[in-house]
Structure 1
Amino acid sequence: MTTLLESDEHKSLREAVSAFARSHPRATGPVESRHFWQEAGKLGYIGVSLPEAYGGGGGGVTELSLVLEEMGAAGNPLLMMIVSPAICGTVIARFGTEEQKRTWLPGIADGTRLMAFGITEPDAGSNSHRITTTARRDAATGDWLLTGRKVFISGVDIADATLIVGRTEDARTGKLKPCLFIVPRDTPGFERRQLDMELHATEKQFELTLDDVRLPADALVGDEDAGLLQLFAGLNPERIMTAAFGIGIGRYALARALDYARERTVWKTPIGAHQAIAHPLAQAHIDLELSRLMTQKAAHLYDAGDDMGAGEAANMAKYAAGEACVKAVDQAVHTLGGNGLTREFGLATLITAARVARIAPVSREMILNYVSHQTLGLPKSY
């Protein structure tokens, strides 16, 4: 499936990724998922958005979101695509030191290294201004000391490091400002606890505890005084990639429902001939296509360097894709009836997975707040 916004190169990439992803069985466990990840890395799909100088493909979020969408449409959506290359890889490529780029980007690009991302906290939720994980300097050594908690952090157990969002105190004002730190997995004081999730996914979720985690001075990514600029450089791609994740899942579910509706015959007629079945599936397709157009717009704006325009479009794309994904999965399950809840057809697990696109990394309600305040100029209620 292509659109008028795509170049011939993008169409070729989409076709190649689709063929690759469909040649692999659905990854239902960590071993299969890891194998799929490694194979995708060897082919250059994981690092398609990262700079060529560090082993990437030299593309942008446009290409990376396309890759994730096609993986999802083939039944193999990789959640860590949103995290490792899109958030962490982007932030390091834009703001990291030369040493950080050489150390991390080649491995992220070819899939041999993974990086998780830690921003959400138990008491902060959607309000990133309330993050309490703090970083302070050790005056004697110049090291950083991080203390705090994070929750709902994906893939920490398989990641080589986690990009942690902390806050440092501004010496002039006493206010806390956000900063980013690379924390290797086995750093003393960096503890993790797996969360008991009903979500069926190969990537596990964790709560993190940082107890005076000591990091060298060069663990800081970018400028200590840059504040939100560096943070949102990763959050806009996160929203775009989450939209692609949702669109891919929605397309996969819709395709399964269409196959069933064409073949399942009741009273000598395929059920897809009945408008009660056909029209909701058509609506699901329309919603997915519309959300894809907004996702492509957001990706193009981001890759063009329009951070303000990309922020608005990325939020809209994430909202639209989340809604379209949930509706497509729900309708697909409903089309199959009881079969939609069996393991054989592989749709039931998508019911919870589809909710991820609505909830994370920011809820649809917070996106509506963003649009009403930033786009429409309406006053805040908080």
Structure 2
Amino acid sequence: MDFDSTPEQRQLREAVRTLGQQYGHDYFVAKARAGEHTSELWDEAGRLGYLGVNIPAEYGGGGGGISELAIVCEELAAAGCPLLLLVVSPAIAGTVIARHGTEAQRRTFLPGLADGSLKIAFAITEPEAGSNFHRLGTVARRDGADWLLSGRKCFVSGVDEAPYVLVVARVPDDGPGGRADDGSGGPADGDGATDQGGGDPGTAGVRLRPALFVVPTDAPGLTMSKLEMEIVSPENQWLLYLDDVRLAGDALVGGTAEPGDRGGLDAGLPALFAGLNPERITVAAMGAGTGRYAIERASTYTATRRVWGRPIGSHQGVSHPLAHAAVQVELARLMIAKAAALYDAGRDVEAGVAANLAKYASAEAAALAVDTAIQVHGGNGMTTDYGVATLLGAVRAGRIAPVSREMILNFVAQRVLGQPRSY
């Protein structure tokens, strides 16, 4: 059991930390307040190779894994610049396409993801489906060699910055046994669900399975509407509306334009989970970095702010809550490192458990760290100048998305503790 980073990982951490500190939280907040994107930081990180550390080397990436990308996410957040699109573009889209895309798709998309010149957004959440992706209402149906995609998505991050969006939809399974006779199946099965007529009427009674499509954001039939959020972030959230968006056959991840090709259909569920576990790990890393940033700001303040002739950090009522938050952040970092190492080793089942645990621990620790940092600052903690209250909305959202703490507890109760399914 080795708790030490490799020399290359230590060098990467130091280099990314240096880059993040050159920009800092003031830059991040100024961009968000102005309604602008952190393009300068993103572009420089891309030029330096940090955005593509997990992309295979043969496609222009660093040839590393999620462990390395988690380092990038954490260190930029620890500098006060948490970049959500790191999670969306290289972690989710990059991993999905690298693992399950066709060779043509890898050649088309991975080099741009690696150097940051290309961003791909990710659309899975829907207004009605909640956490149950087996009941997504977005459906793709065949039309000759093409696909027609219809549905709605919400909380799509950064799609205004991306020329493509990776959309999770359900498709009719027209292979052997594809038509359901009795309406069986459902979210508990884990292998698809039967449409009962709530989505496309043409799919009623047909077994549907998840599939992923790379959709141009300027495609006819795709429109978007901005969601106003109480979060200080340069990356916006969007509603997407897909009205018979026509896609070529090779828009399906793992699929081609060849008639009868089923590669993308068979890859759908594995491809989805290939992206969701890295999402949890890198979101957790971003949360841990944010917690570190908040604790560092608070520690500097409490060590130098003097009241009645002594620093306020000398009072245990101030220092103990801060120390407790630091302990929780460090514990979360250990679980993140374990989850990333398991994922990179190809131990997907164990990595899935660890990724959920890491995400839960990090979200709780980050929320605690920011709240504690605000409290020890007193009234100054609520000002923009002191740079901690600006993180409050983001860390609170981290306890909800991309998977809520309650759903993780359901997962742990069922998968780890062997309890009966509660939903």
Name the TM-score class by shorter chain: over 0.9
Q: Distance in 2 between matches of 1:166 and 1:182?
A: 11
Q: Which amino acid aligns with 2:127?
A: P
How far does residue 4 in structure 1 lie from its aligned partner after superposition? 2.9
Contact residue 244 and residue 292 of structure 1 kept, 8 A: yes
User: 47, 55, 61: which is aligned to 2:52?
Assistant: 47
User: 65, 69, 74: which is aligned to 1:69?
Assistant: 74
Q: Which amino acid aligns with 2:87?
A: I
Q: Which residue is 2:23 aligned to?
A: 24
SS at match of 2:162: coil
Q: Which residue is 2:212 aligned to?
A: 180
SS at match of 2:161: coil
SS at match of 1:226: helix
Q: Which residue is 2:196 aligned to?
A: none
Contact residue 292 and residue 321 of structure 1 kept, 8 A: yes
User: 106, 116, 125: which is aligned to 2:130?
Assistant: 125
Within a 5 Å distance, the mapping from 1:340-355 to structure 2 comes to 340-355=381-396
Determine if the alignment matches structure 1 residue 201 to structure 2 residue 200: no
Q: Name stretches of at least 5 consecutive residues in structure 2 with no aligned partner.
A: 180-205, 255-263
How far does residue 303 in structure 1 lie from its aligned partner after superposition? 0.4
Who wins on radius of gyration, i.e. which is larger?
Answer: 2
Determine if the alignment matches structure 1 residue 155 to structure 2 residue 153: no
Contact residue 5 and residue 296 of structure 1 kept, 8 A: no
User: 345, 350, 364: which is aligned to 1:323?
Assistant: 364
Within a 5 Å distance, the mapping from 1:1-40 to structure 2 comes to 4-26=3-25, 27-28=28-29, 29=31, 31=36, 33-40=38-45
Q: Which residue is 1:145 aligned to?
A: 148
Deviation per CA, 1:85-106: give whole Å up to 9, x if none: 0000000001111111111111
Q: Distance in 2 between matches of 1:25 and 1:273?
A: 28
Within a 5 Å distance, the mapping from 1:81-92 to structure 2 comes to 81-92=86-97
Contact residue 410 and residue 422 of structure 2 kept, 8 A: no
How far does residue 32 in structure 1 lie from its aligned partner after superposition? 5.8
Determine if the alignment matches structure 1 residue 168 to structure 2 residue 171: yes
How far does residue 110 in structure 1 lie from its aligned partner after superposition? 0.6
CA RMSD of aligned residues (A): 1.1
User: 89, 110, 116: which is aligned to 2:115?
Assistant: 110
SS at match of 1:362: coil
Contact residue 245 and residue 357 of structure 1 kept, 8 A: no
Contact residue 87 and residue 234 of structure 1 kept, 8 A: yes
Q: Which residue is 1:338 aligned to?
A: 379
How far does residue 227 in structure 1 lie from its aligned partner after superposition? 3.5
Q: Which residue is 1:283 aligned to?
A: 324
Q: Distance in 2 between matches of 1:368 and 1:245?
A: 21
Q: Distance in 2 between matches of 1:212 and 1:338?
A: 52
Contact residue 225 and residue 240 of structure 2 kept, 8 A: yes
Aligned length: 378
Deviation per CA, 1:303-325: give whole Å up to 9, x if none: 00011000000000000000000
SS at match of 1:224: helix
- The two structures have a TM-score, normalised by structure 1, of 0.97
Contact residue 381 and residue 388 of structure 2 kept, 8 A: yes
Deviation per CA, 1:280-326: give whole Å up to 9, x if none: 11111110000000000000000000110000000000000000000
Deviation per CA, 1:184-216: give whole Å up to 9, x if none: 110000110001111111000000000000000
Q: Which residue is 2:192 aligned to?
A: none
Q: Name stretches of at least 5 consecutive residues in structure 1 with no aligned partner.
A: none
Within a 5 Å distance, the mapping from 1:218-367 to structure 2 comes to 218-222=250-254, 223-367=264-408
SS at match of 1:102: helix
User: 135, 149, 157: which is aligned to 2:140?
Assistant: 135
Q: Which amino acid aligns with 1:199?
A: I
SS at match of 2:140: strand
Q: Distance in 1 between matches of 2:71 and 2:319?
A: 27
Contact residue 47 and residue 110 of structure 1 kept, 8 A: yes
Q: Which residue is 1:370 aligned to?
A: 411
How far does residue 356 in structure 1 lie from its aligned partner after superposition? 2.4
Contact residue 70 and residue 248 of structure 1 kept, 8 A: yes
Q: Which amino acid aligns with 2:147?
A: W
- The two structures have a TM-score, normalised by structure 2, of 0.88
- Which 10-residue stretch deviates more, 267-276 or 31-40? 31-40
Q: Distance in 1 between matches of 2:327 and 2:412?
A: 23
How far does residue 80 in structure 1 lie from its aligned partner after superposition? 0.3
Contact residue 100 and residue 267 of structure 2 kept, 8 A: no
Q: Distance in 1 between matches of 2:402 and 2:154?
A: 12
Q: Distance in 1 between matches of 2:236 and 2:106?
A: 27
Q: Distance in 2 between matches of 1:32 and 1:191?
A: 21
Q: Distance in 1 between matches of 2:131 and 2:283?
A: 16
Deviation per CA, 1:148-202: give whole Å up to 9, x if none: 0000000010011000000101122221100000001100001100011111110
SS at match of 1:63: helix
SS at match of 2:357: helix
SS at match of 1:177: strand
Contact residue 121 and residue 149 of structure 1 kept, 8 A: yes
Q: Which amino acid aligns with 1:349?
A: T
Name segments (4+ residues, structure 1) moved above 3 Å: none
How far does residue 31 in structure 1 lie from its aligned partner after superposition? 4.4
